[in-house]
Amino acid sequence: MRLEMLFSAGGQNRLLPSLRQPLNLDDLIPGDGESADEWAGVWDGEWEVEIGFGKGRYLLERALAHPERRFLGFEVVSKYFRMLRRRARAHGVDNLLLVRGEALYALSAVLPKAFASILHIYFPDPWPKSRHQRRRLLDPKTLDLVLGVLRPGGELWFATDFIDYGERVVEILRAHPGLDVEIQPGPWPDGARTNYEAKYMQEGRPILRLRARSSTTADPAQLHPEGKIGVLSAVTNRRPPPPA
Ligand SMILES: C[S@@+](CC[C@H](N)C(=O)[O-])C[C@H]1O[C@@H](n2cnc3c(N)ncnc32)[C@H](O)[C@@H]1O
């Protein structure tokens, strides 16, 4: 398995108008010099996913600490993506797949369902203005898509310093018929995980942390009650290659 994949220009993400990102699906399937065999069984085994890894401190630490597991990280900011790629290569990591791109797009259009044991989301952008809240990563309309990576029994691990958003996330998760939510009282046993967490703990900011265990299956009765009324769709507009 190659270490990183790169979403590049060539398509448009229409998942949500606010989340348009260039994407080329060819980069997610065996490309130059790779055979389909190299990808066979790639989703087997224990997988953990992090959405919005930022500078990648936790994802790298976790990948190094658990060489028997595989890790998939999403980050839209190229600078952070390149930073983690460089550090991961320097450490000789071979169980980490990095995607620079919009996680919701990849989750809706490309990735298989129910392959991960843990989904990490730490300090996601809170989008505090009410007109921007539909851009939030965890929203009733996106929840089933995001949690769709978890296999039954898999867990979402989440933290935010934006308590209003955190409380809304708790409310959304608790309304989900396939989730069992547990608030983490105080810091994680392993201490500050990400850069944001370390910084905010030093500043003494309150942080809401939780774990939610999923028993969700593809059964429609197991979807979020508010999410069911929404429609999520993803379309790629592949531009034809330029004339030779
Ligand atoms: C506030 S930062 C937190 C970074 C890191 N998790 C931490 O705790 O230090 C949120 C990060 O998530 C990334 N991000 C937000 N939405 C994303 C999405 N839908 N797909 C991929 N990355 C996303 C942003 O680019 C940003 O780097």
Q: Report which ligand 1 atom has the smallest distance to the Cα of 50.
A: 6
Residue of 19, 20, 50, 51 to test ligand 1 pocket, by largest number of atoms within 8 Å of CB: 51
SS3 (DSSP) at 158: strand
In this predicted structure, what is the pLDDT of residue 1? 32
Can you give the residue ranges of every domain in the chain? 4-229
**Residue 125 annotated among the catalytic residues of the structure:** yes
Q: Report which ligand 1 atom has the smallest distance to the Cα of 195.
A: 9
Going by C-alpha positions, the residue among 184, 133, 134, 127 that lies closest to residue 155 is 184
In this predicted structure, what is the pLDDT of residue 40? 63
Fold topology of 4-229: Rossmann fold (3.40.50)
| Residue of 27, 32, 125, 180 with catalytic role | 125
Q: Report which ligand 1 atom has the smallest distance to the Cα of 74.
A: 21
Question: Which element (helix H / strand E) includes 140?
Answer: helix 140-147
- Lookup result for tokens 């018929």: 177
Residue 225 has pLDDT above 90, yes or no: no
pTM: 0.83
- The percent of residues in the chain predicted with pLDDT above 90, rounded, is 48
SS3 (DSSP) at 98: strand
Residue nearest to atom 21 of ligand 1 (CA): 75
Q: Report d(CA 177, CA 86) in Å as an integer.
A: 41
In this predicted structure, what is the pLDDT of residue 65? 96
Pocket of ligand 1 (CB under 6 A): 51-54, 74-77, 80, 102-104, 122-125, 137, 194-197
Report H helices in 18-131: 36-39, 57-65, 78-90, 103-109
